[in-house]
Amino acid sequence: MGMALIRLRVNSDKEFIDNEDLSQIELADLKTISTLGIGGFGRVNLVKHVDSDKVFALKILNKAHVKKMNQQDHVLNERNILAACRNDFIVRLHRSFRDSERLYMLMEYCPGGEVWAMLRNWGRFDEQTARFYCAAALEAFDYLHRHFIIYRDLKPENMLLDKNGIPKLADFGFAKCLKSESGRTFTFCGTAEYVAPEIILNKGQSLGVDLWALGIFMYELISGT
């Protein structure tokens, strides 16, 4: 996989980006079944392709709100990085669309929901269960870091479970491609409890901030707080 794909800037209204035979899917071919979640920039719907009955998660972003909050770069980074990623522990982006008011990302549906919801119900995980989810995060980080991608938003809310219970990282709004393994970026972002000291001190952040977050993630899974 070449990093040129990650730096791709999309000029067309829609683009086929998956190896599966989804190239003929149009936005009009998708029927909304339900709402999976609502966030600050839009919503995620469960949709069905009317011809094949395949189900997907459709992330819908309001262009005006994204622009108002100056999040264009984050949205573009998320789309381009997910378009390039092919890893069993990262949620798959199949295709993207846009119209005059909204941006759409057609994504793999993970019916198991968030690890956070399971943690909330259980209170905390035993060591073996926590190890399983931490290992999945580490596998995803190994893949991302080998391509100089910093994730910057690990937390139970951003790990989804597919139909087989395989954990997958989602929500790449804070992800960024660095110029090299030792490259740094200075954007202050992430969830407060998870940010590394170098982010708070504005010393420049590199791939190591994801490993700091992995330690916090491990603690939260085991302790429930």
Q: Which residues are catalytic?
A: 153
Would you say 49 and 25 are in contact if contact means Cβ atoms under 8 Å apart?
yes
H or E stretch covering 145: helix 127-146
Would you say 161 and 167 are in contact if contact means Cβ atoms under 8 Å apart?
yes
Tokens representing 170?
């989602």
Instruction: List the end-to-end C-alpha distance of the chain, in Å, as a whole number.
Output: 38
Question: 59 among the known binding-site residues?
Answer: yes
Beta bridge partners of 150: 176
Residues of the binding site = 59
Residues of the binding site for ATP = 59
